[in-house]
């Protein structure tokens, strides 16, 4: 009986671990330890990817798990990036604040639509409607690189433009292909995670 309970809730437990890493990432971010916090949010990404795989593999997918995954995504891929944009990247002018809100709103809408519609399938290929919110760690990496090579004014306009474009792509319904083999991606992200964690020490 206990094994059945564990099996049916294993994916949700993994979602909880992803949430824990996201929460710790926010704490370290607020303590001005960006690199360590970003390493943690990448770990949250890894566990967030694993929970869906487990739910499908164990045939334990359900509405509760889907909803839980969506709430964790709000923290990991929307709340954490938004805080990092303000605290670490210093995007605090009016245009930046508005663009960050647009990013948040578009992401929440994207997640709500996904919870209702799910993953689509066409001609045997699975795809997402619009740009997935898990793209946000890539945005942070792009902003990190941009902050090193741009002056403050150019960086502000660049980030504002990228956030608005990203928001439009998230609410759009274009077909974003779902990767068939996520293992190489997860390995790469895990390596990046440990690199940033090491940089944070």
Give the pLDDT confidence of 149-182 residue by residue, as tens digits: 999 999 999 999 999 999 999 999 999 998 888 8
Confidence label for 8 from pLDDT (cuts 50, 70 and 90): low
Closest to 86 (Cα-Cα) out of 95, 77, 96? 96
* pLDDT value for 122: 81
* pLDDT value for 10: 81
Q: For the stretch 3-14, what's the b/e string if a residue is b when 16 or more beta carbons lie within 10 angstroms of its beta carbon?
A: eeeeeeebbbeb
Confidence label for 201 from pLDDT (cuts 50, 70 and 90): confident
- pLDDT, tens digit, for every residue of 181-195? 888 899 999 999 999
Strand order in the sheet with 120-122: 120-122, 125-129, 175-177
């Amino acid at each position: 009986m206990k094994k059945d309970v564990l099996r049916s809730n294993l994916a949700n437990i993994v979602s909880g671990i992803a949430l824990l890493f996201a929460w710790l990432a926010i704490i370290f971010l607020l303590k001005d330890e960006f690199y360590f916090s970003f390493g943690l949010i990448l770990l949250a990404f890894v566990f967030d990817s694993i929970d869906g795989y487990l739910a499908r593999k164990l045939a334990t997918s359900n509405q509760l798990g889907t909803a839980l995954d969506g709430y964790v995504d709000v923290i990991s891929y929307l709340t954490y990036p938004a805080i990092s944009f303000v605290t670490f990247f210093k995007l605090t002018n009016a245009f930046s604040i508005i663009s960050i809100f647009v990013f948040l709103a578009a992401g929440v809408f994207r997640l709500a639509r996904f919870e209702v519609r799910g993953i689509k399938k066409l001609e045997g290929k699975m795809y997402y409607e619009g740009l997935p919110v898990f793209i946000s760690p890539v945005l942070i990496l792009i902003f990190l690189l941009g902050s090193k090579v741009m002056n403050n004014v150019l960086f502000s306009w660049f980030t504002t433009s990228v956030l608005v474009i990203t928001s439009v792509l998230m609410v759009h319904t274009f077909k974003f292909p779902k990767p068939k083999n996520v293992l190489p991606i997860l390995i790469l992200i895990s390596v990046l995670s440990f690199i940033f964690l090491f940089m944070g020490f």
